[in-house]
Copies of this chain bind each other. A is one copy, B any other.
Amino acid sequence: MRASAHLGSEKAVEMTEVNGRLVEGVVANLPMFRQASRAHLADVTRHARAVHAPRGEIVCRRNDPMPGLYAVAFGLVKLSLGDDPGDEKVLRLVGPGETFGEAVAFLERPCPVNATALTDTLLVMIPSGPLFALIERDARFARSLIASLSQRMHALVADVEASALRTGLQRVAAYLESLTEPGPALGSANVRLPATKTVIAARLGVTKETFSRLLRELSDLGLVEVTRRDIALLDRDRLAAVARGAARAAAEA
């Protein structure tokens, strides 16, 4: 950044401007900042910086210090627990327009998860400092932030519930349902897994072997058709029934 002043080329300046606009665009579209004024937004974007992470790069290692919260501009980030890859639990997959690290940024604690870019990813990092300042000045922002944390919490609780008292088959069925567009459940739909089956398996709390077998089970029941990462949901009613626990009923129907 500082170097660009020395180089002084129009291209470098242009790049900086482009970065600035990009950062601003990404930040302005976060739910958390939708209600913020232009001035407050500017204060935040001034301190934010873009971070590029090529596929496979670890954005944030477990126990690293967390400088602030991250927003995904494009790409996909995997938040996972557990050191050994191959025996990890994927907490969440973070896509464009989503954020991670809020809860950690405000506790000034080390990062509790590993964050890995699954594809080429552009992130915007917003340091904690300006966020704290904005909480002071804009109550609406504080409210949005609280709402954001609360929703995240809800999702986590739902996950805990699923892991604790649903079988693998139920979780897979529910997950496939969740990939469809929100709206009335039509007869069929096509979805695409957002990551490799190994990663999705870890997201669902099963091994890749088990995930493979469960998909085959749904396939044998005639509920889905799997073609690589593309999955056709052939009978959403029965799929939903399986998700709710009526495995036998679905098989008999």
Contact assessment for A135 and B145 in the assembled complex, using a CB-CB cutoff below 8 Å: no
A152 partner residues in chain B, CB cutoff 8 A? 153
Task: Answer yes or no: A212 CB below 8 A from chain B CBs.
Answer: no
Interface size of A by CB at 8 A reads 40
Count of identical protomers in the assembly: 2
A107 partner residues in chain B, CB cutoff 8 A? 147, 150-151, 154
A132 partner residues in chain B, CB cutoff 8 A? 143
Interface-facing stretch out of A1-9, A21-29, A98-106, A215-223:
A98-106
Chain B: minimal CB distance from A200 (Å): 15
Contact assessment for A103 and B136 in the assembled complex, using a CB-CB cutoff below 8 Å: no
Per the bound structure, the CA–CA distance linking A65 and B67 in Å amounts to: 37
Contact assessment for B160 and A160 in the assembled complex, using a CB-CB cutoff below 8 Å: yes
Contact assessment for B103 and A164 in the assembled complex, using a CB-CB cutoff below 8 Å: no
Q: Point out residues on A near B: beta carbons under 8 Å.
A: 81-82, 87-89, 91, 102-104, 106-107, 109, 112-113, 132, 135-137, 139, 142-143, 145-147, 149-154, 156-161, 163-165, 205
Partner of A89, one of B136, B150, B164: B164
Contact assessment for B103 and A165 in the assembled complex, using a CB-CB cutoff below 8 Å: no
Partner of A205, one of B103, B156, B157, B164: B164
